[in-house]
Amino acid sequence: MADELRTQGFAGDSDVVLLLASELVTNAVRHAETPFEIAVDVADGKVRVAVTDEDVDHTPEIQHPGPEDTNGRGLLLVDQLAAVWGSNRVGHNKSVWFTLR
């Protein structure tokens, strides 16, 4: 994926893109429990990753787990490492996305 991102014009850290994308996919699998799609777009030196699922009833929220908790850090990582992130409805679905420069 790193080579493909560079080919598309993204000069940033592809490891961070992979980490954050995997966090969004994990959340879709664990919480939405519906089919999902992932989209990756590169434009103007930025990458935008969106994971869309069918769970419109739950808005993603940053958790603040304790030191002994083994889950709940995914969106905290996204919040700390992405330039911007958010979620929105797309038709009858929900999309959670982030952008990196």
Question: What residue ranges do the domains of the chain occupy?
Answer: 2-100
CATH of 2-100, picked from 1.20.81.30, 3.20.20.150, 3.30.565.10, 3.40.50.300, is 3.30.565.10
CB 63 within 8 A of CB 80: no
Say how far apart CA 77 and CA 70 lie, in whole Å: 14
**pLDDT at residue 99, as a whole number:** 96
**pLDDT at residue 25, as a whole number:** 95
CB 45 within 8 A of CB 10: yes
pTM comes to 0.89
pLDDT tens for the chain, 101 residues long, are 778 888 888 888 899 999 999 999 999 999 898 999 999 999 988 999 999 999 988 888 888 877 887 777 889 999 999 999 999 998 999 999 999 98
Say how far apart CA 23 and CA 94 lie, in whole Å: 16
**pLDDT at residue 21, as a whole number:** 95
**pLDDT at residue 89, as a whole number:** 93
CB 1 within 8 A of CB 49: no
**pLDDT at residue 98, as a whole number:** 97
Q: Map tokens 């590169």 to a residue.
A: 42
> What's the gap between Cα 20 and its chain centre?
5
**pLDDT at residue 62, as a whole number:** 87
Identify the CA nearest to 34 among candidates 59, 51, 21, 17. Answer: 51
Number of Cβ within a 10 Å radius of residue 79 = 13
